[in-house]
Amino acid sequence: GAGVSQSPSNKVTEKGKDVELRCDPISGHTALYWYRQRLGQGLEFLIYFQGNSAPDKSGLPSDRFSAERTGESVSTLTIQRTQQEDSAVYLCASSVQGHTDTQYFGPGTRLTVL
Amino acid sequence: GEDVEQSLFLSVREGDSSVINCTYTDSSSTYLYWYKQEPGAGLQLLTYIFSNMDMKQDQRLTVLLNKKDKHLSLRIADTQTGDSAIYFCAESIWDYGGSQGNLIFGKGTKLSVKP
């Protein structure tokens, strides 16, 4: 079946602009995660959605970052007033129910802020 | 706090075994994972182990878990050039009182396989 998809695959933007990154999880997966991977670094957790519960936003690095999820489907990660340090690959993952369930990752969106 | 450590580089010859090591700090980890990332690609789940197990084998992959030392390893038998990639160790923290379910990742080990 289809895996996690993300769009766009690449995004180049100017400093100060807003960007939106999209994630389509695997159908039927109730949990959705966003991570950030800076060049040469491991992954940093950003935010976690589980069903209708309030999202866990503990990993968001600043108030310029926000994310929404429509029901148990698409999620959008928004970065306002982008900065050069926001340049990274943003990865989305989904799992059946969250917690200890295996997370399956999308291909990521490579964001470059000039 | 939670932390996952890995060595950054490993180089082996084709046909040899590769052993990638990882240490973690949180004793409440429930699942531990190995992910593979090939150049320009997303993360691919390779295997995982539940924290009450000490070994799991899946074809050429063997995962060993020493819970006392909080040490996890991934052994790849008969390493091939196609195994060249970055391998990430990750732990899943399960907080009964909260909503945590995210993975904590190491920085990744770059495996280079020489012909």
Taking the C-alpha atoms of residue A86 and residue A90, their distance in angstroms, rounded to an integer, is 10
Q: What is the pLDDT of residues A67-82, one digit of tens each?
A: 999 888 899 999 999 9
Determine the residue among A4, A36, A46, A99 to mutate to test chain B binding: the one whose Cβ has the most chain B Cβ atoms within 10 Å.
A99
pLDDT of A10-35, one tens digit each? 999 999 999 999 999 999 898 899 99
Distance CA A58, CA B48 (A): 25
Cα-trace Rg, chain B: 14
pLDDT digits (tens, 9 = 90+) for A51-60: 888 888 888 9
- The CA R_g of chain A, rounded to the nearest whole Å, is 13
Tokens matching residue B26: 């949180």
Query: What residues of chain A lie within 8 A of the CB of B101, using their CB?
Result: 31, 33, 48, 50, 56, 95, 98-101
Do A111 and A87 contact (CB within 8 A), yes or no?
Answer: yes
